[in-house]
Each structure stands twice: as structure tokens, then as C-alpha cells.
Amino acid sequence: MLLGQIEAIDDMHVSTRFFSFIGPIFPLGTMFITNERFERRGNRSIHRYDGRPLPLSLKSVLLGYLRVWCLIGAFAWPFISMYGQPINGWRNEYLVSIALLVIWLFVLIVPGRLSEEQRRQLRVLEQAAGLPINPARLASFDRENRREVMAERLKEAGLSLDPAEALRGIDSIDRSQLGLVYAHARYAGGPAWGAVADASWKRLHVA
């Protein structure tokens, strides 16, 4: 069962696969889902998906639990807490169910959504690196492989791989190369490249 969807863009998103019984029990692994489809075979509906494994996302795991168990708990709590008791009108036990429903609505709608700026940034990363995903979510070997490919492209374009030099020359870089510089800086990480990413994004955003 795939749960805990976050950072969705188009039909792609980060989700966690759970072993489930009624609701999620324990996480089996987080994935970046690139395609989902439901197939009907007889009286069965089969969920199929394509994606790539990611390091386990605690945010996705937590939301996976909350988005299911809060809803189940909201409906189950009155039966559990008032089992065998006469029900006459309002009971304070209903407050727990209402609180759980409020929490469920919040975690269903708010956490894990991307802002418009984050979506634009992921589009740039997709064009330069092939995936619309925050590089920090990738396994280190995958992140480094993609960074090396972009580094080769930067060298071919005559652009510096030294972050200090890249930052000093950011205003003179052709706009067609800014996306590549931004993506490489995001994948390289660290404070020095972070400054390059911020400067290149600022110029991309206003250009």
C-alpha cells in the first residue's frame, strides 16, 4: 500500500510503501513514483506503479500513519470508549473524534504540498538533471552520478566548477546556462554551492 504522498508534481510524487492490515503497520520503503495506474481484472482492482527507491522519508512515513489512523480512530473511538454504555445525546467522547477528524483534514491537505516557487525549481531540476525531485531525497550515489554528468556539461560550456568563482561570475552567465548552474549547485550541496544556487535562482526568477 502506497501512503504518505508528498511533493507531488504532475502525476509524480514521493510516497512510502507500507505493510498494512486495516491501516499501515510498518514502512517498507520510500519511492519516487513516476507513474501509477489501476487495472481491472475480473472483480479485482490492481494497483501498479513505476518509480525509483529513495532513502526512507520520515515525513512521508508520519503522514502515512496520520492520514489513515486518524480517520479510523475518529470513527472507532465512540464505539471503543462507550462500549456497553447507554448513549443518550451528546457525550464528551465525541470531542476526541472531532479532534481526530480535524487533525486528519489538516494532514491530508496541508503538509507535503509544494509552493509555486518550489514547483518552478523542480521543473528546472527536471530539465537539467532528469528528475523533478529535491536532490536531498536521492541516495548519495544517485545524486553524485547526476552531479558528475552536469559537471561535465558545465566544463564543456566553459563554466567554472569552483563555487567561489561561479558565484562571482553568476551575472555574466548566459541565461540558457543558468538552469544547469542552478541544478548542479543544488546537487553539489554545501554552503558555498548553496550561495551559487540562491544567486542563480534569483537571476532565473527575475530574468
> Is the distance from CB of 130 to CB of 52 less than 8 angstroms?
no
pLDDT of residue 207: 53
What's the CA gap between 22 and 20, in Å, rounded?
6
Max Cα-Cα span within the chain: 80
For 111-169, how does the pLDDT look when each residue is reduced to its tens digit (9 = 90+)? 999 999 999 999 999 999 999 999 999 999 999 999 999 999 999 999 999 999 999 99
pTM: 0.86
> Is the distance from CB of 35 to CB of 50 less than 8 angstroms?
yes
For 42-69, how does the pLDDT look when each residue is reduced to its tens digit (9 = 90+)? 777 777 889 999 999 999 999 999 999 9
Q: What is the DSSP string of 52-77?
A: EEES--HHHHHHHHHHHHHHHHHHHH
Confidence of residue 92 (pLDDT cuts 50, 70, 90): confident
> Is the distance from CB of 3 to CB of 108 less than 8 angstroms?
no
